[in-house]
Structure formats: C-alpha cells, structure tokens
C-alpha cells in the first residue's frame, strides 16, 4: 500500500482528536472559536478518512482511526484535563493499542 494513505490516516486521527478536544473546550457550544473548530477539524478528519478508504479496507481503516483516536483522547484527558487515572483505564488503553497492533499485524 502506498505510504500516502497511511499519512492520510494519521492526519485523520490527529484532526479527529483535535475536534474532540475542541468539543470539550467549546463548553456546550457556548464558546465561539472552539465550536467552529469542532466542525473544521472533524471535516478535515473525515475527508482524510475518505481518501484512506480508496486503498484500505473500511474495517481496518475505521478500527484504527476510531480506536487510536479513543486511546489518544483518553491519554490527553488524563494529562491535559486532569481526569482521574485508574488501573482499569490504563489497562483499557493498553488493550486498545494491542487491538490496533493486532489488526495491523495480522491483516
């Protein structure tokens, strides 16, 4: 597979994470710029995913996109938003990452 599609997938994941961060910062759409950026960032993320789906199976691409985004948001929540760290949360993040690796290595 052409590496440009992996680049698009990474870009899609990054912008999906940025969109989710902006959701938190938008405070229920009460703050203008974070609210606007939610749509901009999610738009870029989805366009990137659309390009990826030209070459990568939807089951693999979406699983990587969604699960890596989820793991990154959980980590950002802990570090940036000072969300509580629990053993089950750490184990769950590790299992998500293991699942992503399993999908990629055994495809």
Give the C-alpha separation, 104 to 107, whole Å: 6
Q: State how many domains the chain has.
A: 1
Mean confidence (pLDDT) of the chain: 93
Low-confidence ranges of the chain (pLDDT < 50): none
Residue in 76, 51, 74, 52 with CA at minimum distance from that of residue 63: 52
- Boundaries of domain holding 53: 3-105
pLDDT at 100: 85
pTM, rounded to two decimals: 0.90
């Amino acid at each position: 597979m052409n590496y440009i599609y992996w680049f698009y997938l990474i870009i899609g994941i990054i912008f999906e994470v940025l969109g989710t961060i902006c959701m938190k910062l938008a405070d229920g759409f009460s703050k203008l710029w974070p609210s606007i950026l939610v749509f901009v960032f999610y738009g870029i993320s989805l366009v990137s995913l659309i390009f990826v789906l030209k070459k990568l199976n939807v089951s693999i691409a979406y699983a990587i996109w969604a699960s890596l985004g989820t793991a990154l948001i959980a980590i950002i929540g802990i570090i940036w938003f000072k969300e509580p760290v629990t053993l089950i949360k750490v184990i769950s993040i590790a299992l998500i990452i293991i699942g992503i690796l399993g999908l990629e290595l055994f495809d």
